[in-house]
Amino acid sequence: MEMDELDYTIDDVGALVKKVSIKKIKPCIAAEGKIRVLMQTDAELEDLIPYLVSRYPPGKVNYIERKKILTLTLHNRLITLYPSGKISMNKTRDKEEAIEVIAQVIGDMNHVYMEIQEGGTEDYSKIKDKLSHIGPLAIYNCLPQTSCEECGQATCMAFAVRLLAGETTLDQCTPLYDSQNISKVKCLEELLGSQIMHTLGWKD
Ligand code: SF4
């Protein structure tokens, strides 16, 4: 459907992105009655996108490195970020909901951008290497493997699968905080690195 462009100020003091414009609204082919919203940020995202990859659970992220296109499965929809600052969001109720959701992602973007500026971000090649080794079995190997169910899952493997899908957080495995499991925490740190540990919900 044709429409006038709509401009929204998301964060006046945002380190990178301050505004977003809704360029087009189309019917969503993935969900009847919903819309697909095409937006544009007021800053290019090319340099930022690789650093966003580790800020969401691996199961929520699809990154095409060659094109620097990142698709996030968040809030029950797909949000695709392009290097130019173009954003596509499907399964959305209306433009107000689109802005509400994208404001949260832009908050993440500005936070990560600040960290990059302050030199507090791991190099992307290291993050990429870590991500290539992360899977349910690798996580399982670093868990206490008692299937005690304290995390609400029947088995440690079920917990590992749900963790990577972003459906639970690492701190829910409370036995990891017991002193006898310090080697397990070290194993996770080695596998994931501090950034991804944090993304998956580890609290020191
Ligand atoms: S709390 Fe930890 S040790 Fe217990 S079942 Fe869950 S993942 Fe396994």
Which atom of ligand 1 is closest in space to residue 174's alpha carbon?
A: 1
pLDDT of residue 127: 85
Check: CB of residue 156 under 8 Å from CB of residue 147: yes
Atom 6 (ligand 1): residue with closest C-alpha?
151
Q: Is residue 1 part of a domain?
A: no
Atom 4 (ligand 1): residue with closest C-alpha?
148
For residues 86 and 161, state if they share a domain. no
Q: What is the mean pLDDT of the segment spanning 174-201? A: 95
Which atom of ligand 1 is closest in space to residue 144's alpha carbon?
A: 3
Distance of CA 186 from the midpoint of ligand 1 (Å): 16
For residues 143 and 88, state if they share a domain. no
Distance of CA 150 from the midpoint of ligand 1 (Å): 6
Q: What's this model's pTM, rounded to 2 decimal places?
A: 0.89
pLDDT of residue 99: 97
For residues 168 and 98, state if they share a domain. no
What is the extent of the structural domain holding 144? Answer: 134-199
For residues 24 and 86, state if they share a domain. yes
CATH assignment at residue 59: 3.30.310
pLDDT tens-digit readout, 148-171? 999 999 999 999 999 999 999 999
Tokens 């973007």 identify what position? 109
Q: What is the mean pLDDT of the segment spanning 130-142? A: 95
Question: Residues enclosing ligand 1, CB less than 6 A?
Answer: 143-144, 146-151, 153, 156, 159, 173, 175
Distance separating alpha carbons of residues 123 and 202, to the nearest angstrom: 20
The β-bridge relationship of strands 77-81 and 86-92 is antiparallel
For residues 21 and 87, state if they share a domain. yes
Distance of CA 8 from the midpoint of ligand 1 (Å): 44
Q: How confident is the model at residue 2 (pLDDT cuts 50, 70, 90)?
A: low
Atom 8 (ligand 1): residue with closest C-alpha?
156
Could you give the maximum distance between any two Cα atoms of the chain, in Å? 62
pLDDT tens-digit readout, 59-117? 999 999 999 999 999 999 999 999 999 999 999 999 999 999 999 999 999 999 999 99
Q: How confident is the model at residue 197 (pLDDT cuts 50, 70, 90)?
A: very high
Average confidence score pLDDT of the chain:
94
Which residues pair with residue 7 across a beta bridge?
Answer: 21
